[in-house]
Amino acid sequence: MHTLIVYCHPYEQSFCHAMLETLCERYDREGTSYEVIDLYADGFDPVLSRDELAVYNAGTALDPLVTRYQELTSGCNRFVFIFPIWWNDVPAMLKGWLDKVLLAGFSWEATGAGLKGTLTYIESAEVYTASSNPTEFIREHTGDAIRRMFIEGTLWQLGIARGTWENFGGMDTSTPEERAEFLRKLSGR
């Protein structure tokens, strides 16, 4: 199984970056094949330009990074997403990645009765997040967007039938011990 990690955080000292490092170390130790897309380090522009929007329905990518990301996506069987939850949802950078990379003809087809996802070769998606709000608050009071919209909506619509989500909630009030325990579990040790 080949894993594609889509990492979305601008700060290398963040807890999300610690999650990325932990998972990469785990995959190296286990011999898991993986590649990392680091949206901020790559300088990815998440904004659809007028020219890109003009060819959007044709599934044409004008940005060379988009073409590269599509090649990486085509070669994976599993997605791993790592990002902070900002205002109860995915960061704008990741939303732009979805908009620009997962184009018509590449990841979905219009059927007249909804989209038909073509990423069925991706067996699963794992989503790892960190948030200021406690996880229960996100699930019960703010719409549970990561599970309901991102995993059960967008990813499912793209043909990815299985998705899991683990959030480290209460980031701003967490202790070093709580963060270390989360990373220990993530490391598989």
**Which residues on neighbouring strands pair with residue 128, listed in sequence order?**
82, 166
User: If residue 99 lies in a helix (H) or strand (E), which one and from where to where?
Assistant: helix 92-101
Domain count along the chain: 1
Positions of the chain with pLDDT lower than 50, given as ranges = none
The domain containing residue 16 runs over which residues? 2-187
Q: Is 146 within 8 Å of 165 (Cβ atoms)?
A: yes
Helix, strand, or coil (residue 108): strand
Backbone angle region of 188, left / alpha / beta, with phi > 0 → left and psi within -120 to 50 → alpha: left
pLDDT at 94: 98
The CATH number that applies at residue 74 is 3.40.50.360
Q: What is the pLDDT at residue 57?
A: 87
